[in-house]
Chains A and B, each alone.
Chain A
Amino acid sequence: DSGVTQTPKHLITATGQRVTLRCSPRSGDLSVYWYQQSLDQGLQFLIQYYNGEERAKGNILERFSAQQFPDLHSELNLSSLELGDSALYFCASSLPSYGYTFGSGTRLTVV
């Protein structure tokens, strides 16, 4: 157990729908990062939150949004889903001077 919890582990939904992925960071970690891994691809950075504030943005589509709540958990919202959004979505958390820890991911399948 890495200490970073992601729910749900698997999600199957139809095109056009909206889903929410949840991440609870490791205790004490202030930063949360979201990454997307499509088939045979590396992990693509989507967005980072630090202590509730958006800190950095990567290749995140406008149909996607995220937030970090006062208790530091984060949610990634994916809307108007397309077949190409099917991927593994990973959350990671970190604390200054310490490294990243990844959760086990949410596998999203859009049918």
Chain B
Amino acid sequence: DQQVKQNSPSLSVQEGRISILNCDYTNSMFDYFLWYKKYPAEGPTFLISISSIKDKNEDGRFTVFLNKSAKHLSLHIVPSQPGDSAVYFCAASRGGNEKLTFGTGTRLTIIP
């Protein structure tokens, strides 16, 4: 039972344009959502998070949007840079320090 889904295994975006990564979840008990970035041979690195009391959180070039009614969140990266090429994982939890349930990841490639 995949409670967190990232339906796009890969995405290619031109440098300077906007990258939009999507994530859907099924468990309505999730109230905290995170995005992680992962390079090969490294552990996931925290990018940005959002709690269910908000619908948007912004940090520099990264913005996460949460649509609770649709059980959908998205990560916007603008402008996209070559160093953004990595695998991005969406994760969700019930509470901020409970176990995370991860999606299967989206491989983002930024084309120079």
Distance in angstroms between the alpha carbons of A65 and B80 in the assembled complex: 42
- Select B96's contact among A45, A99, A102, beta carbons within 8 Å: A99
Tier of interface size on chain A: 20 to 34
Inter-chain contacts of A45 with B (CB < 8 A): 99-102
Cα of A33 to Cα of B97 in the assembled complex, Å: 10
List the A side residues contacting B102 at CB < 8 Å. 35, 42-45
Name the residue of chain A whose CB is nearest to the CB of B9: A40
Binds B, one of A11-19, A76-84, A89-97: A89-97
For chain A, residues 32 to 49, give those with C-beta under 8 angstroms from any C-beta of chain B. Answer: 33, 35, 40-45, 48
Classify chain B's interface size: 20 to 34
Name the B residues within 8 Å of A40 (CB-CB). Answer: 104
Q: Assess A96 versus B43: contact at CB under 8 Å? Given A42-B89, A43-B89.
A: no
User: Among A2, A92, A100, which residue has the most Cβ atoms of chain B within 10 A?
Assistant: A100
**Which secondary structure characterizes the binding site on chain B?**
loop
Verify if B45 is at the interface (C-beta below 8 Å from A): yes
Question: Is B49 among interface residues, defined by CB-CB distance under 8 A?
Answer: yes
| A4 sits at the interface (CB 8 A) | yes
Shortest C-beta distance, B95 to chain A (Å), equals 10
Any B CB within 8 A of the CB of A86: no
Q: Are B44 and A48 neighbours in the complex by a CB distance under 8 Å?
A: no
Is B59 in the interface zone, CB < 8 Å from A?
no
Q: Are B41 and A104 in contact (CB under 8 A)?
A: yes
Q: Determine if A111 is an interface residue (Cβ-Cβ < 8 Å).
A: no
Identify A41's interface contact among B4, B34, B104, CB under 8 A.
B104
A100 touches B100 (CB 8 A): yes
Interface residues of B (CB under 8 A from A): 4, 6, 34, 36, 41-46, 49, 89, 91, 96-105
Q: Which 6 residue pairs spanning A and B have beta carbons closest together?
A: A102-B43, A42-B102, A42-B104, A43-B102, A104-B43, A45-B99
**Further contacts, 4 of them, CB under 8 A, given A2-B45, A6-B43, A103-B43:** A42-B104, A45-B101, A56-B99, A99-B96
Chain A residues packing against B (C-beta within 8 Å): 2, 4, 6, 31, 33, 35, 40-45, 48, 56, 58, 90, 92, 94-105, 107
